[in-house]
Amino acid sequence: EAARRVQEQALKQNITTLHNRINELGVAEPVIQQQGLDRIVVQLPGVQDTAKAKDILGRTATLEVRLVDESSEARSAEQTNGMVPFGSERYLERNGQPVIVKKQVILTGDNLTDAQPGFDNQTQEPVVNLSLDGKGARIFKDVTRENVGKRMAILLFEKGKGEVVTAPVIRTEIGGGRVQISGRMTTSEANDTALLLRAGSLAAPMEIIEERTIGPSLGAENIAKGFNSVTWGFLVIVAFMCIYYMVFGVFSSIALGVNLLLLVAVLSMLQATLTLPGMAAMALALGMAIDSNVLINERVREELRLGASPQAAIHAGYDRAWATILDSNITTLIAGVALLAFGSGPVRGFAVVHCLGILTSMFSAVFFSRGLVNLWYGRQKKLKAVSIGTVWRPEGAAVPATTDDKA
């Protein structure tokens, strides 16, 4: 029973670590699911370099900081490959040189808060810059102060096999929680090492037992259907608005097209992948955007029905509809942010497009459409009528002389 709980915990931690690593790789909407008691299914859409992805996902990458054993017995063991002193272990540097380090671990990867690739200011060689948490910074400062003139080894463990990345001499006390890893690394190796250390180590090593590569043709039909649904939805909305609201419907339709272009432009700028859930969110964004224009148009009609002049009705319609539009969009945005924060995979993809669609729709439906209306009607000094469809009035109500009921 205890072994089963340990296995379940290790599996959950590995899933979390894989999520972190895949997010660092920039894969759009990955799927990571537990299968059975000891398997994890990982789906990576759009990945071109599968070899690198497998290498990144399968590496354990555990960091340890230890002191080098500089006793005479340890130095003799390094030179003659003899017996290692009690309390120490032998590891190899990247050039094959043996180093005897103490078993006592000073710091581990759990003390890291960040790891970024960079270049050494003096040698311009690739390095990895580490940031330690408060506890790690205090320990590192104390150890370096007490061991000035001695060597400190930074080890990286992969599937139980350790390697000394660097073993510099401590010149002075090191505070501030900043540590630099250097030692015959290429730029690519520095980037990968920083990625692995940021994402955290795997609780247990994993092996790839099955790999499949699925071509893009499998989802081509679904993508075409999603694209057609957005297109037809847009055309039907445009037709309805133009028939029901006439010129104001044309303005609303142009604003809707601008909203769609803005949404696609923002997604492209963010290098987001448009998936089927994203297309569903885009279709929903069209309906939400046109809903704002319907509120505005009906408010303008209401002002005309109450006897306001066309210019006053336009001004009041936009101003008084703004509060309702803002409230409805904020509440919907809160739901989208919740999906983004707590969802995963396709749900997050839907939430991203959904939230962006809300923001672009508020701009296009309110500000852009108002600019079009002002550009069209604002130049007319004595505006007698606006083309906004039929303005229904109760029987017996007075009809203002300055307002035409129909276009």
Q: pLDDT, tens digit, for every residue of 292-321?
A: 888 888 888 888 888 788 888 888 888 888
Architecture of domain 219-377: Up-down Bundle (1.20)
| Whether domain 60-211 has CATH 3.30.1360.200 | yes
Dist CA 308 CA 313 (whole Å)? 6
Domain boundaries, the chain: 1-58, 60-211, 219-377
Question: In which element (H, E) is residue 90 found?
Answer: strand 88-93
Bigger pLDDT: 72 vs 222: 72
Question: In which element (H, E) is residue 62 found?
Answer: strand 62-67
pLDDT of 345 strictly over 70: no
Would you say the pTM of this structure is higher than 0.75?
no
Dist CA 48 CA 44 (whole Å)? 10
| Whether domain 1-58 has CATH 3.30.70.3400 | yes
Calculate mean pLDDT across residues 104-116.
84
The residue type found at 380 is Q
Contact assessment for residue 168 and residue 151, using Cβ atoms and an 8 Å cutoff: yes
Calculate mean pLDDT across residues 91-98.
83
| CA nearest to 230, candidates 271, 295, 276 | 276
**Model confidence over 154-186: pLDDT tens digits?**
888 876 678 888 788 888 888 888 888 776 678
Dist CA 350 CA 86 (whole Å)? 58
- State the Rg of the chain over Cα: 32
Per-residue pLDDT band at 334 (split at 50, 70, 90): very high
Dist CA 357 CA 343 (whole Å)? 18
**Model confidence over 42-58: pLDDT tens digits?**
877 767 777 777 777 77
Bigger pLDDT: 4 vs 254: 254
pLDDT of 205 strictly over 50: yes
Dist CA 206 CA 369 (whole Å)? 56
What residues have CB less than 8 Å from 188, skipping those under 6 apart?
Answer: none
| CA nearest to 171, candidates 142, 145, 133, 201 | 145
